[in-house]
Chain A
Amino acid sequence: MTTTLRKALLGAVFATALGAGAADAATIKVGVIAPFSGPFAMFGQTFKEGIAVYQAVHGKTVGADTVEFVFKDLDQANPAQSKALAQELIVKEKVSFLAGFAFTPDAMAVAPLIDEANIPAVIFNAATSAITEKSPRFVRSSFTLWQNTVPLANHVAKLGVKKAITAVSDYGPGIDGEAAFKATFEKAGGAVVDTIRMPLKSTDFAPFMQRIKDSGAEAVYAFLPAGPTTLAFAKAFADNGLKEKGIQFFGPGDITQEPDLPALGDAVLGMTTSFHYSQAHESAANKSFLAKYKELFGSSDNATFTSVGAYDGVHLIYTMLAKTGGKSDGLKAVEAVKGLSWESPRGPVTIDPDSRHIRQTIYLRTVERVNGKLQNTEKDAFPAQPDFGYKLGK
């Protein structure tokens, strides 16, 4: 008897929680969970800016509904808090969408919640392939390490490199990158002579450089999270004479993201990376995106892949709203954007109907100094790359 009472009570709560979202001509709330303070605040700041740019261009209303963003700060990867914040957003703020998520565990933590509440969650960044497998209500507008690495590894093989070495930070994305590079490069006929995993917080890279030198590899695939470690790594690469020895450097574009370029300076000049967005991308969509960015925030120097991830993420949310008429049914909303194609500032993109991950062009870029400013100049493009890591397991 108590259980029936409980069920009735719960049912009532759910009905109110879900019903509120379906109200007509109302405010549709989107809860954004991201780091807005602390060392990773750049994620939250660029998300916020990307959202603001989208709303400035496309307005704040979809049909009769006003779209409002509610920001929740999660200063570092902390899945328990991520879940509590999502719970609060769903139950208290009655949001119809969740969005944001800089780190993988934070996104994973909300999977059971969005399934129970039946609301979609749009991932602006978190890049481990496995995330979208955890719930059919996840849609991702960013990238995965597999997506960026596979074309790069093929490119390295095509250059005639026979022996390569990987050096990655010892955490999820780094290991993803290592696995993707190894699998692709060996399939293309090359050999990975050694795989180095470096501690995430390491700043002394001299011993790793020695290992790279001694390995006899012609090229190194490196991945480190954006920030000071990358700077130290790039410096060590130059200082230890690897460049002179003719060892070529390749990596995903996180390491030369735009806000870090001034700090990285000449150490990264000439570095070849593969990525889905460069500020220097030549297209009308990107030009107007950057112009709006500059108009709103005074400068577009910080516009980077996370801003575009958020921009496109909001596009997905707007489309879901428009196609479902604001009715809160997470699965139907996700269904509505499956296969959706549009022109993003990064280039043409499509939501893959199976993985619900964004299919996009991956560009091969080189860091160059243009008009006194460092930029990632796109040299080559690999169109319509899917998430190669989807359903590959660990």
Chain B
Amino acid sequence: MSATMTDAPPTAPTATDPSAPRLASPRRDLSWTAAPLVGLLGLAGFWVFPDDLGLMTRIAAAALYVLSLDLVLGYCGIATLGQAAMFGTGAYAAGIAAVHLVNDPLILLAIGGVAGGAIALATGALILHARGLTLLMLTIAVTQIVQEVANKARDWTGGSDGLSGIDPAPVFGLFRFDMVGRTSYLFALAVLVVGMLVARRIVRSPFGLACRGVKEDPVRVAALGGSPRAYLVTMYAVAGMFAGVAGALTAVSSGIVGLDSVSFSWSAEALVMLVLGGTGRLYGAVIGTVAFMAAHHILAATDPFHWMAFIGLFLMGVVLFLPGGIAAGLERLRDRLTGTRNGSAPGGRA
């Protein structure tokens, strides 16, 4: 394994070079600003929308979850509709731990992460030999199984009544989870920013580059001595940890876990949000989540009876006019605004 890891750096650049401008922007230095920017905008949101912290907490946790999907879909090319299995496992693990064992929020996040990673590792090792539609079906099957287990194990999970009674201790023993949601929000935002930084580190590591290599051309990676499946399973497990942490974060901040957190529709919604934002960028996941959930919220608040039609139109609009998602649209806009300098960059690579 370590031999393949050391082999990876030389192979990775060749594999990713053509795709690098598409994955990251031509001026790839700028992508490091994403996490701090999210932190700053999030803090700004804290002051600008002090009444909407509940919604914003959910957005932050969901963004981390969509980010985990980007790790597998955007960087490994694994088509999956099963990310909710990891999210839900993390949520339930943290919830059950909170009810029976500990209530320190950070430990609960760790438990959620480990649980999500473990289920991803176990199922990933089983199903990742498949590709394409077969894999897609298998991921759905995994989600269904996890959901049914959660439904059957009523003594532990509360079944369809939901697992309630999660009462996390104050963060660092100081900040209580209050009704207005200040603690929840800042906690969730901090976890999201840290998650983005860690994810960025991972995708830029030799391992992350090798994963991109597998996405571009698994045969070539294999020919160079790497094991595509090992890379995929590892990244799947890593993404599972992210999803598990996101699930635990939702459990901690909402105090309850329901069967919806392991549902097929929650998996599909993640995919919608990711495609909306743009895949393979990490920050695209955050943009997509914010755009989708904010639109959802505003439309549902304006017209609680017919908002679904409008959100459908909104999604169609984005798909038609912003192919590649909002992030890609923003990048094109930036390229056009700073035309001359950037015009040379794409020209250079062409």
Binding site for B on A (CB under 8 A): 2-3, 6, 10, 13-14, 17, 36-38, 41, 44, 71-73, 75-81, 83-88, 90-92, 104-105, 108-109, 111-113, 116-117, 128, 130, 134, 170-173, 175, 200, 394
Instruction: Kindly list chain B residues whose C-beta atoms are within 8 Å of the C-beta of A172.
Output: 159-161
B179 with A104: CB separation less than 8 A: no
Interface string of B271-286 (1 = CB under 8 A from A): 0000000000000000
Please judge, given known A-B contacts A84-B58, A104-B160, whether A72 and B301 are in contact too, CB under 8 Å: yes
From the candidates B52, B159, B181, B255, name the one contacting A171 in the complex (CB within 8 A): B159
B256, CB-defined interface residue at 8 Å: yes
From the candidates A79, A87, A175, name the one contacting B258 in the complex (CB within 8 A): A79
Interface string of B169-188 (1 = CB under 8 A from A): 00000110011111000000
Instruction: Kindly list chain B residues whose C-beta atoms are within 8 Å of the C-beta of A81.
Output: 58
A196–B51 Cα distance when bound, in Å, is 47
B321, CB-defined interface residue at 8 Å: no
Interface-facing stretch out of B68-76, B113-121, B225-233, B305-313: B305-313
Of residues 100 through 147 on chain B, the ones whose CB sits less than 8 Å from some CB of chain A are none
From the candidates B159, B259, B301, B306, name the one contacting A37 in the complex (CB within 8 A): B306
B51 with A104: CB separation less than 8 A: no
A36 with B305: CB separation less than 8 A: yes
A112–B161 Cα distance when bound, in Å, is 16
A88 with B55: CB separation less than 8 A: yes
Please judge, given known A-B contacts A80-B58, A80-B256, A83-B256, whether A37 and B179 are in contact too, CB under 8 Å: no
Most chain A beta-carbon neighbours within 10 Å: one of B57, B256, B305: B256
Please judge, given known A-B contacts A80-B250, A83-B255, whether A88 and B160 are in contact too, CB under 8 Å: no
From the candidates A77, A78, A113, name the one contacting B179 in the complex (CB within 8 A): A113
Please judge, given known A-B contacts A80-B58, A80-B256, whether A104 and B155 are in contact too, CB under 8 Å: no
Q: List 23 A-B contacts (CB under 8 A).
A: A3-B174, A10-B180, A38-B308, A41-B305, A44-B305, A73-B305, A79-B254, A80-B254, A80-B261, A84-B55, A84-B58, A87-B181, A91-B179, A91-B180, A105-B158, A105-B162, A105-B164, A108-B161, A109-B256, A116-B179, A117-B179, A171-B160, A172-B161
B54 with A104: CB separation less than 8 A: no
A104 with B161: CB separation less than 8 A: yes
Most chain A beta-carbon neighbours within 10 Å: one of B158, B164, B250, B259: B164
From the candidates A37, A88, A130, A173, name the one contacting B304 in the complex (CB within 8 A): A37
Instruction: Kindly list chain A residues whose C-beta atoms are within 8 Å of the C-beta of B160.
Output: 77, 104-105, 171-173, 200
Binding site for A on B (CB under 8 A): 51-55, 57-58, 151-152, 154-155, 158-162, 164, 167, 174-175, 178-182, 250, 253-261, 265, 300-301, 304-308
What residue of chain B has the Cβ atom nearest to residue A113's Cβ?
Answer: B179
Q: Contacts A77-B258, A91-B53 known; list 6 others, CB within 8 Å.
A: A37-B305, A37-B308, A73-B300, A79-B257, A87-B54, A108-B164
Instruction: Kindly list chain B residues whose C-beta atoms are within 8 Å of the C-beta of A3.
Output: 174
A104–B161 Cα distance when bound, in Å, is 6
Instruction: Kindly list chain B residues whose C-beta atoms are within 8 Å of the C-beta of A2.
Output: 174
Smallest CB separation, B152 vs chain A (Å): 8
Please judge, given known A-B contacts A36-B305, A79-B258, whether A88 and B159 are in contact too, CB under 8 Å: no
Instruction: Kindly list chain B residues whose C-beta atoms are within 8 Å of the C-beta of A91.
Output: 51, 53-54, 179-181
Instruction: Kindly list chain B residues whose C-beta atoms are within 8 Å of the C-beta of A116.
Output: 178-179
Instruction: Kindly list chain B residues whose C-beta atoms are within 8 Å of the C-beta of A17.
Output: 180
What residue of chain A has the Cβ atom nearest to residue B58's Cβ?
Answer: A84
What residue of chain B has the Cβ atom nearest to residue A176's Cβ?
Answer: B161
Instruction: Kindly list chain B residues whose C-beta atoms are within 8 Å of the C-beta of A37.
Output: 300, 304-308
In the A-B complex, list the 8 residue pairs whose CB atoms are closest, starting with the nearest.
Answer: A105-B162, A87-B54, A92-B51, A84-B54, A171-B160, A73-B304, A80-B254, A79-B256
Instruction: Kindly list chain A residues whose C-beta atoms are within 8 Å of the C-beta of B152.
Output: 170
A2–B180 Cα distance when bound, in Å, is 18
From the candidates A71, A83, A175, name the one contacting B254 in the complex (CB within 8 A): A83
Instruction: Kindly list chain A residues whose C-beta atoms are within 8 Å of the C-beta of B155.
Output: 394
B178 with A112: CB separation less than 8 A: no
A87 with B179: CB separation less than 8 A: yes
Instruction: Kindly list chain B residues whose C-beta atoms are within 8 Å of the C-beta of A71.
Output: 304
Smallest CB separation, B216 vs chain A (Å): 37
A6 with B175: CB separation less than 8 A: yes
Instruction: Kindly list chain B residues whose C-beta atoms are within 8 Å of the C-beta of A104.
Output: 160-162
A81–B180 Cα distance when bound, in Å, is 15
A78–B300 Cα distance when bound, in Å, is 15
Smallest CB separation, A4 vs chain B (Å): 12
What residue of chain A has the Cβ atom nearest to residue B250's Cβ?
Answer: A80
A10 with B178: CB separation less than 8 A: yes
What residue of chain B has the Cβ atom nearest to residue A32's Cβ?
Answer: B304
Most chain A beta-carbon neighbours within 10 Å: one of B52, B162, B174, B260: B162
A84–B301 Cα distance when bound, in Å, is 13
A72 with B254: CB separation less than 8 A: no
What residue of chain A has the Cβ atom nearest to residue B261's Cβ?
Answer: A80
Instruction: Kindly list chain B residues whose C-beta atoms are within 8 Å of the C-beta of A88.
Output: 51-52, 54-55
Instruction: Kindly list chain A residues whose C-beta atoms are within 8 Å of the C-beta of B181.
Output: 87, 91
A128 with B256: CB separation less than 8 A: no
What residue of chain A has the Cβ atom nearest to residue B62's Cβ?
Answer: A80
What residue of chain B has the Cβ atom nearest to residue A86's Cβ?
Answer: B54
What residue of chain B has the Cβ atom nearest to residue A173's Cβ?
Answer: B160
Smallest CB separation, A53 vs chain B (Å): 18
Smallest CB separation, B295 vs chain A (Å): 14
Instruction: Kindly list chain B residues whose C-beta atoms are within 8 Å of the C-beta of A200.
Output: 160
Smallest CB separation, B163 vs chain A (Å): 9
Instruction: Kindly list chain A residues whose C-beta atoms are within 8 Å of the C-beta of B162.
Output: 77, 79, 104-105, 108-109
A204–B91 Cα distance when bound, in Å, is 32
Please judge, given known A-B contacts A10-B178, A87-B54, whether A76 and B305 are in contact too, CB under 8 Å: no
A105 with B256: CB separation less than 8 A: yes
What residue of chain A has the Cβ atom nearest to residue B254's Cβ?
Answer: A80
Instruction: Kindly list chain A residues whose C-beta atoms are within 8 Å of the C-beta of B178.
Output: 10, 116
B161 with A130: CB separation less than 8 A: yes
A172–B178 Cα distance when bound, in Å, is 29
Instruction: Kindly list chain A residues whose C-beta atoms are within 8 Å of the C-beta of B159.
Output: 171-172, 175
Smallest CB separation, A136 vs chain B (Å): 16
Most chain B beta-carbon neighbours within 10 Å: one of A79, A83, A85: A79
A88–B53 Cα distance when bound, in Å, is 8
A77–B163 Cα distance when bound, in Å, is 13
Most chain A beta-carbon neighbours within 10 Å: one of B178, B253, B254, B308: B254
A171 with B179: CB separation less than 8 A: no
Most chain B beta-carbon neighbours within 10 Å: one of A17, A81, A170, A173: A81
A17–B179 Cα distance when bound, in Å, is 11
A78 with B260: CB separation less than 8 A: yes
